[in-house]
Amino acid sequence: MRTLNRTVIASCMTLLLSGSLMLVGCSSSPDEAQMKQLNDLKEEVAALQKDMAAKDQQKAGLDKEIAEKNAKLTKCNDDQQVVKQRLAK
């Protein structure tokens, strides 16, 4: 009976160990080169996001600048009309 117990325990342990090893081993991990590839890609994305933010800011600045210049030009044209009217008087 004792021998039977030991055999059962040993069998269980072996079964469990091999099962666990299979569980861990079946799902393989990326190697170092692959991880480097992913990290490089992440860095590239981060740099692009930063670049995009800067360009968006630059574009917003230009939009504002153009709106101001348009207003200045409109005023200048209006001033010309006013001066013409005053000269005509």
Partner 1 sequence: MNVMKTCAIVLAALLVVGVSVAQEKYTKDQWQQDLNSYTTQRNDLNTKVKAVTDQITTLTQQSSKLDEDWTKCIDDLYALVGSNRQAADAFRSDIDATENTANELSRLSDADLMARSADVDALAAKTKGLWDNKLSLIPEFYDRLTALNDKVKALQTTLSNQVKIYSVGTWARNRDCLWNISKKPDIYSNAWMWPKIWQGNRDQIKDPDVIHPGQKLKIPQGKELTSDEKSAARKYYARKGK
Return the sign of the alpha-carbon dihedral for residues 66, 69, 74, 80: negative
* Residue 28 contacts residue 36 (beta carbons within 8 Å): no
CA distance 70 to 57: 20
Phi and psi torsions of 28, nearest 5°: -85, 155
Which residues contact partner 1 (rule: CB under 8 A)? 5, 8-9, 12-13, 16-17, 19-20, 23-24, 27-30, 34-35, 37-38, 41-42, 44-45, 48-49, 51-52, 55-56, 58-59, 62-63, 65-66, 69-70, 72-73, 76-77, 79-80, 82-84, 86-87
The least distance separating partner 1 from the CB of residue 23, rounded to whole angstroms, comes to 5
The least distance separating partner 1 from the CB of residue 75, rounded to whole angstroms, comes to 8
The least distance separating partner 1 from the CB of residue 78, rounded to whole angstroms, comes to 8
CA distance 89 to 77: 19
